[in-house]
Structure 1
Amino acid sequence: MSENKYDLCERLEDFAASIILLYDKKPLSYASDYLAKQLIRSSCSSALNYGEVLGVGIDADKINKLRICLKELRESQRNLNIQSKAKLFSNEDLFGLKNENDQLIRIIVTRIKNIN
């Protein structure tokens, strides 16, 4: 993950890149392929939507984009949990991603609360 753990944009990008790297060299079953593609989409979407937050001036628009980031991160969280329960990866392989995903969710929730 990012060396500067306080740069949210960088952390979201690193999170998405870590997921891409996890699946890049692994042979996939039908289930893991399906979940991998969806996880890559949701994790990348959270980073891309946060990039849009940085360019928005109106608080209502910022909140809307942050809520999209939050939705995508929660989708990523469910996906990682399903993969863990289905033993598609070991818990050790997913622990860091699940932990970072949880921290990112908490940060986005806090950002939304602080705008209101």
Structure 2
Amino acid sequence: MDKHYLPKEEFAEMIFVRIKAFSLRCMPLCDNLFLKTISAKNIAKQLARSSTSSVANYRAVRRARSRNEFYAKLSIVIEELDESIFWLEYSLDANFYEESKVKSLIIEGYEILKILAKARKTASENKSN
């Protein structure tokens, strides 16, 4: 059975839509945390920064001028997305949210992260060719 691959631009758009939706889903959580304690306010700021940074940097990935720039910017997206997941998990550990409120968002973050890590690996292999 042949694997079905999306054309490069369709794949990039699909990922952009997913990362943007992930970031947008984080915003109400950030707003809610911001109104709580000082420690919750700090987590809210960190989550807002990392989740919006991941989508903004993915936009830059799509405009990369070279393979090296593509790889570097994609690495930033992965780092920021991973940090966003960390803050979501941390907010659960700190009992700021019930697991049912953020679990699907964490799962989506990990799914996107897995796709991007594979794309970065492929980019790294292509970079050395």
Percent identical across equivalent pairs?
26
**Aligned twin of 1:68:** 76
Superposed counterparts of 1:1-116, under 5 Å: 7-25=14-32, 27-116=35-124
The number of residues matched between the two structures is 111
Spell out, residue by residue over 1:10-55, the C-alpha distance to the aligned partner (whole angstroms, 9 max, x if none): 1111111111122335632212111011101001000000000111
Q: TM-score, normalised by structure 1?
A: 0.89
Spell out, residue by residue over 1:50-109, the C-alpha distance to the aligned partner (whole angstroms, 9 max, x if none): 000111131110000000001111111211111111110000011011111111110110
Q: Residue type of the partner of 2:116? A: I
Question: Structure 1: which 5+ residue stretches go unaligned?
Answer: 1-5
- The separation in 2 between residues aligned to 1:113 and 1:92, in whole angstroms, is 33
- Structure with larger Rg: 2
Q: Residue type of the partner of 2:46? A: Q
Q: TM-score, normalised by structure 2?
A: 0.80
Q: Residue type of the partner of 1:46? A: S
